[in-house]
Chain A
Amino acid sequence: MNFDLSDEQKMLAEQARGLLSERSPYDHLRALIDAGAEWDESLWRELGEMGFLGVAIPESFGGLGMSALDLGVIAQELGRCNAAVPYYSSIILCADAIRLAGSDIQKAEWLPKLASGEVVGTFAYAEGPGPSFATGVKLEGAKLNGSKTPVADAGIAQLAVVLVAGGGLALVDLNQSGVTRTKLESFDQLRAHYRIDFADAAAEMMPGKNVLATLLDRAAVQAAFEATGAAEACLTMARDYALDRQIFGRSLASFQAIKHKLAELAVEVELARSNAYFGAWAADESPDDLPASASAARLTALTAFENGARENLQVHGGIGYTQEANCHFYYRRERTLALGLGGRDYWTDRLINHQPGLQGQISSGKAA
């Protein structure tokens, strides 16, 4: 057993962190929001040129063919800085869906473009209020009809993987006349969302069957890395602010109420990170362990990020409620990450239903 990042992975993390702290500081995020930008296109191009987007895409399809853990190391850094890039939509979901379910022709056509960043993709699954995997969108022949909403990054995406009635996945070119995209007002100002209406849109079924649960498991592990990085950023930001702030004649950080809050958060971050490591390892090496370990990673990472985002703002006091402070980026991003991929209910059921020896004993085993 050797349960730590390799030296190469530590270097990869450092590289990504260095680049992102230089290119995506908070003032830059604020400028993007003020300019009404949907994304940071130049950062995206740079990530593509440096190979960061193709890390886990097979070499035969233009990627670097590295592991889920390597990808997670990058996701953690993107989460740490809240970068305004469609990584989650395009790489974690769309590219992985094609890798899992696409035909060789579909892979050859799209994966190299996704890996280089030339094409942005997204994954369209929700259909309005309620559980996220409704399937009112129908594919008949090669024609797609119905609506998906909200869909992240759909304004800049050219390609969507769409979850259709029956649970299959279809590939849709969004730059066609049968597709209408309507911009929504996003809670997370750094992640644009759209409603997409399909009216006899041309779509191609992907041959892979029953991949949804696995796709979500793999994405949950990556999202857990992203949330862990973000939670840790909140912890560090709160700590630094508390060290700086003088109050009642001493440093705010010297009060136990603050120390203990942050110590608890530090524990949550380490539990989440440990689960994410195991989830990534299982994604590549031990598929039987993936459902439970992805669920555990998901639940612990959401807890760490939720408390991190909330308590960071709390520690800042009034300044935390201003645009000028940086707490709000995480406070909004946290809800965005928490509600995606099925939310807590889905992962609760998945974790419980994947405990050995229990299947069949539960009368209402709900989810997949």
Chain B
Amino acid sequence: MDFNDTPEEAAFRTEVRAWLAANAPAHVIPQGVALDDTEEVQRGRAWQRAVYDGGYAGITFPKALGGRGGSVIEAVVFSEEEAQYHLPKGPYIGIGLGMAIAAIAKHGTEEQRQKFIEPTLKGELTWCQLFSEPSAGSDLANLRTKAVKEGDDWIVNGQKVWSSWAHRSDWGILIVRTDPSVPKHKGLTFFVVDMKSPGIEIRPIRQISGASDFNETFLTDVRIPDSNRIGDVGGGWGVCMTVLMGERLGSGSHKAQVSPLLDYAASTPGMNGGTALDSGSIRAALAQAMAEEQGAKYLEARLRTMVSRGENPGALAGMIKMSYASRLQKTSGLAMELRGLDAIAPSIDDTLTRSIQYDYIWSTVMRIAGGADEVLKNQIAERVLGMPGEIRMDKDVPFEALK
């Protein structure tokens, strides 16, 4: 066991640090500044282009596809160093890199790889994920949006929901039902869709944060050429699994959230003189959270070691997201409490408290999106501990016969 970089990894880290120091600052978003959506996406594309030109885009992708042909650990080193800067890297970039081109690389045709992978690595294409529907979130395979073949095209009708940044995306990854006469997981097919296609209407949804960065997406007689189908007709669920695995591993990597709260507590007046950090209960809660955060960090290191050997961590990856999300909710809630009433209406220049408020709001998403806590617990119980699967009423029933 060694937690240090190998000489090659250390050399790579040094190189990345120097490159970032020279290139990242120009793209950093100042903390506490909310950008207009259009401007944010522009900045995101520009940063991704810079990463590509620097030779660091798609580190694990083959060179022939525009990637670097590097290792998982190199990708990790790059993202660790990149996380030191506050860069524009929203879902419009992340969905493309982590999900769309991952699915295309694994399940797509040679032509599709050529068409989508390099432009996405260059930041020329932004992506959204059109999976969830009003009655298909955790139970994703329950989706109703349907596609019917007409000549060389598919005609798509239905409604998707919670589509992050769809209003600023060039392309979408889409899963639809192509055969309702078979059980629900079997009749699905995966496509990529040009978001400018006629028949796509995107309506913003107002979020609890006040922002509207996700949407309802209505699809009415949208025409998708068969050449934009990824994988086999009826094989969509398998492609989805590739995408969701990427989503879960990806949502594990986070910077330390708890240790900055120590300074925050130490700069807040306490009950009996002194600071909030003098309180035993606050110390205990923060220390426990910090200990868990460190555990998650080293668990992630173990999983990366597995991935770098070609092993699949499977449901273990969900553990990291699960522990991160509930910890963020607890610690940001606690941080507000220790600040006292001031935390619900801080002074205008107190950007730190405002970012803690934001964490408290955002933590709710982390417990739902990309696999809700309850769903991840089912998976851990079933796949890690070997406990029985959930009782399924819909298993062998054709989709059209379900209520």
Contacts and interface: CB of A to CB of B under 8 A. Distances in A.
A and B found bound together: yes
B288 A259 contact: no
A299 B291 contact: yes
A96 B33 CA distance: 53
B301 A274 contact: yes
A352 B304 CA distance: 28
Contact of A2 (B283, B305, B384): B305
A358 B275 CA distance: 13
Given A6-B1, A274-B302, A295-B287, A361 B387 contact: no
Nearest to B9: A1
A35 B3 CA distance: 47
Given A1-B9, A262-B385, A266-B385, A351 B291 contact: yes
Contacts of A1: 2-6, 9, 73, 301, 304-305
A264 interface: yes
Contacts of A108: none
B266 A254 contact: no
Contact of B291 (A242, A275, A364): A275
Contact of A352 (B287, B376, B381, B386): B287
Interface in B288-336: 288, 290-292, 294-299, 301-302, 304-306, 316, 319, 322-323
Interface string B321-359: 011000000000000000000000000000000000000
Contact of A254 (B73, B286, B377, B387): B387
A3 B388 contact: no
B299 A4 contact: no
A264 B385 CA distance: 11
Interface in B245-286: 259, 262-263, 266-267, 274-275, 277-278, 280, 283-284, 286
Contact of A271 (B6, B323, B378): B323
Interface in A242-269: 242-243, 250-251, 253-254, 256, 258-260, 262-264, 266-267
Interface residues of B, number: 55
A348 B278 CA distance: 12
A352 B277 contact: yes
A348 B281 CA distance: 10
Contacts of B259: 355
B64 interface: no
A239 B385 contact: yes
Interface in B34-91: 73
Interface residues of A, number: 59
A116 interface: no
A296 B377 contact: no
A347 interface: yes
B interface secondary structure, majority: helix
A270 B291 contact: no
A160 B295 CA distance: 34
Interface centre among A250, A345, A363 (most CB of B within 10 A): A363
Contacts of A352: 262, 277, 283, 286-287, 290
B287 A351 contact: yes
Interface in B130-155: none
A36 interface: no
B387 A253 contact: yes
Contacts of B297: 274
Contact of B296 (A239, A271, A349, A364): A271
B278 A363 contact: yes
A4 B319 CA distance: 18
A42 to B, nearest CB: 33
Interface string A284-296: 0110000011011
Given A295-B287, A351-B287, A358-B262, A3 B295 contact: no
B374 interface: yes
Given A1-B2, A1-B6, A259 B284 contact: no
A355 B302 contact: no
B301 A239 contact: no
B381 A260 contact: yes
Interface string A332-366: 00000000000011011101100101100111100
Contacts of A4: 1, 302, 305-306
Given A260-B374, A263-B380, A274-B302, A3 B278 contact: no
B391 interface: yes
A251 B291 contact: no
Nearest to A356: B259
Interface in A310-324: none
A293 B297 CA distance: 12
A149 interface: no
A267 B283 CA distance: 23
B386 A239 contact: yes
Contacts of B301: 1, 3, 274
A123 interface: no
A300 interface: yes
Interface centre among A253, A263, A355 (most CB of B within 10 A): A263
A242 B275 contact: no
Contact of A259 (B3, B5, B323, B377): B377
A351 B288 CA distance: 9
A4 B307 CA distance: 12
18 contacts: A1-B3, A2-B305, A3-B301, A3-B304, A243-B386, A259-B378, A267-B323, A271-B296, A271-B299, A274-B299, A275-B294, A277-B302, A278-B298, A281-B1, A281-B2, A357-B263, A362-B278, A363-B274
Interface of B: 1-6, 9, 73, 259, 262-263, 266-267, 274-275, 277-278, 280, 283-284, 286-288, 290-292, 294-299, 301-302, 304-306, 316, 319, 322-323, 374, 376-378, 380-382, 384-388, 390-391
5 shortest interchain CB distances as A-B pairs: A271-B295, A274-B298, A259-B381, A299-B291, A263-B377
Given A271-B292, A274-B297, A296-B291, 16 more contacts: A1-B9, A3-B1, A259-B381, A266-B380, A267-B319, A270-B316, A272-B295, A274-B298, A278-B3, A295-B291, A296-B290, A303-B292, A348-B284, A352-B286, A355-B290, A362-B277
Interface of A: 1-6, 9, 69, 235, 239, 242-243, 250-251, 253-254, 256, 258-260, 262-264, 266-267, 270-275, 277-278, 281, 285-286, 292-293, 295-300, 303, 344-345, 347-349, 351-352, 355, 357-358, 361-364
